[in-house]
Every structure is written in C-alpha cells, then in structure tokens.
Structure 1
Amino acid sequence: MELDPGLTALRPLGGFFVLRTGAPADPGAPPLDRTYAGRLTDVQTDALADRIAVVADRLRVREPRVCASLAQQGVAARLWSAALACAVLYGRVPDLDPRLLRWDAAATAPDDLWLTEVRPLPGDPGTLADTVLHAHLEPLGEALTRRYGVAPGLLWGNAASALAGAARQLDQWARLNSRTDVAERAAGLTNYLFAHPLLRDAGVRSGARFRRRSCCLYYRVPGGGVCGDCCFSRPPGSSPRAASG
C-alpha cells in the first residue's frame, strides 16, 4: 500500500497517530533540524524553549528540567506513533527528515507536527530506527541535556516508554478492529526497536508490559505521581503511609 499525500490511513487511529502534511499552519515554525541545533533565523521562534514554557504553564511546573523531560516524551510519542503506524499500515514510512518537519510548540496533537513533503521510505525496522531514533531523538536529547541538564538515561527511558505506549495503543486498535495482521507486524517491529542499543537497557519488557529503569519526573508536577511504567512504586521522598492514603 503506497503512502498517500495525506497519510489518511492514520486518521482512524486517533489524534496522536495523525501527522499533518503540506504547508505548516504557522509559517514561522522552524524545521526541527534548526530547533535541535539552535540555529534559528530572526523570524523563527525557538520551538524548544516555547514548548517547555507551554508545559510549565499548563502543568504549573517551574523546574525547567521537569518541563524538558515531559516535553521530550510528548514529542517522542508523536514521532513513534506516526512512524510505527505508517510502517504497519502502509508497509512504508514517510521520510521524517528534521528538515521536512515543522513544530508548532503551542499546539496539541495532531496540529503540533507538520510534514511538508511525503517521501516514502521502506517500512523495515532499520529505517524506523534511523527515522526516529537517529534523526530526531538523538539530536533532541543532546539539545535538552546541553540546555537544561536533563540526564541522557532519563531521556532514553522516555523514548522507550513512548514507544511502548504507541505500540500498545496500536495493538489495541488492531485487535478491536480484527486486524491481527497489524498487531503481528507492530509486535515484530517493536521487538526489533527495543533490541536497539539505544533502547535495550532503558527498561524491561514482558509481552506488552514495560517497566523503565528511570523516571520521567512527573511526580514533581503539582498533583502528579508515578507513571504506570515508572521505576518507582511511589514518589521519591513519600512514605508508604502517605502514598497509600
């Protein structure tokens, strides 16, 4: 099945899987390669700083490191969702070269990312790794570590958690829609990706379940707690009595 210009096969899966194509909604939104490298023109916004400010405002967080972690996990989830779903449904992935992707940092899914041109690539696991891990999550992680001091291990834990979440959602959709072929292809691709050197030490998998070896710091959000795949069973510093009460 060939990629169509609108990537319409993604729409039934829901907003997190949908990837907008064509001209970006905000002409001033920079391509992601410039965002990662910090090379922006006078008319381009700093999408990375803007997104972290948006997270801080929405979640009432004032720790930049926490906001940076949560922002990165959101972007990772969007990239994994779109790429994995395309590989499974089309047998192809769109070229997600950072020069082709625009990021509207103030928008929510599916309007946050825009692919300006649909160029088909093979849907094999190696291409998926190149398309998401190497083209995006490596330079994004380096930028966040450099600018906000976020530990690389935490960010790779976020990347693995985002992949596990995307795979789980895709599997649920496939089974609800009697698409066992989709579920099987998604499982095969996900297994390969979790064996990748950048992800294989990020956590432990058992079937569809994943337990990471790091924490995304969501417990530091007011009213937040530990996520379902967190390495902690309760927020650090809390007593068992407080956690159960």
Structure 2
Amino acid sequence: MAEITKEDIRKPENLVYKKTELLTDKPLSYCPGCGHGTAHRIVMEVLEEMDIQDKTIGIAPVGCSVLAYEFMNIDMQQAAHGRAPALATAVKRLNPDKFVFTYQGDGDLAAIGTAETIHACNRGENIVIIFINNGIYGMTGGQMAPTTLPGMKSSTSPYGRDVHMMGNPLKMTELVAQLPGTIYVTRQAVHTPANVRKTKKAIRKAFENQKLNKGLSFVEIVSNCNSGWKMNPVQANEWMVENMFPFYPLGDIKVND
C-alpha cells in the first residue's frame, strides 16, 4: 500500500467536508468573506453536538442577521428591528423547556434595540444572545453604527467618526457585563481556525448555562464587513485585527460559574 503524503491530503479531491445537518442546503447569500456563515455553522454544530436541535428556537431581527432563518434548519422566529431580546423573553417564558437564542447585528442590538438588550440582561432572562459586531450597518448601505470606531469612515461619516460631533462608540459587551442578570459575557472572533474553536467553546458554554438555568449569556463576535468597509476579505480581516481588536479586545469579560 502506497504511503499517503501531505501533498495527497491537500489535494481537493481527497478533502472530506462534513456539513452539519442543521444548516440548510441553500447557498449562503452573505458577501464573500463575511463572518456570518462561519458563525452560523458554529451555532448549528453546537446544537447538533448537544442534541438539542428539536428543543431550540432562534430569534433573528432586522439586518444581515435576518437571513439566518434561511440557513439554520431549526425553529426560527423573526422579530421587529431591535426587539429580539423582548421576543426571546416571551418565547422562553412561555416555553421554559426550550433553548432560546437571539442572533443580532450591532446596528440592531446596540442602536434601536439598546433598551431591549439592557433590560433583558438586567433581568437575567435565561437565554443566549449572540451579537455580531462589524462596526457598521452592513445591510442598508454601510452607515455609521453605535459601534463604529473613532475616525472610522462610513457612508454617513465619510471623513471618519468625529466623537465630538457623533459621540463615542458603544461597548455593549462591557456594558452588559456590569448587569447582575448576566452570567457569562465574552467577546470572540471567527477569522482564524484558532478563533473559531474559541468561539465555538464560548457558544457551547452559553447554551450549557441556559441548560442549567443560570441566567443570560452574551457572546459577542467581532467580525468584518468587507463590502461596507470597501475592502477585499483579506484586507478586511487585517484591518479588523489592527483596528477593531484593540478597541474591542477578545476574551471572557464575565464568568460566573
């Protein structure tokens, strides 16, 4: 029998790709290089590995995240813009035996949905909030969001965000970590295999917390928006590492075991 070399393993015809059954077969409609697809897969893999897919309800509001129900092969419910935590609260209280999570972007969660986010976290609703932060309104034209960095250009801040005129970026994850109802608050990323593993571990911990009725778990995923940032995917990832991560540092912020 011939010895298998590294070159053989790297050949495309020899690569084995196993897709979780909890992702639909519909091609992803996100921009090439976007982190949403990776985040979707991680969440669905966790649900499959925990064998809770039949007990889980996802809530997707307005923004790029609204497309999640086209790709996640579980029970999903759309919410009005910013209202996902309020809807998730109702779903969980009416179905306490279900696993409930929201999947939200920064324009949704940190702008129109600020009140719903803050109060759900403060009450300690036994849900999981997954927060994709790319520092911009991605779906509607690349406008400045509450998370847009100082000096960062967008379609509504073409010369960069001026904090004296436009205010400071909102660090939602640090903010909700101060609230008594949050049990686990973390910030992760999905741009490298190592970060994907860390993010998957964080999401698994969040759903395990819900299983144990511990309270609200909040998982932020810092991502790119190469279309909104007017960069190719490689440039966007590099810009994210050099600019987003110093302002939004990765790692666990609050862990109450």
TM score, norm. by length of structure 1:
0.28
Bigger proportion of residues as strand = 2
Higher helix share: 1
The two structures have a TM-score, normalised by structure 2, of 0.27
Larger RCO, structure (CA 8 Å, separation 6 or more) = 1
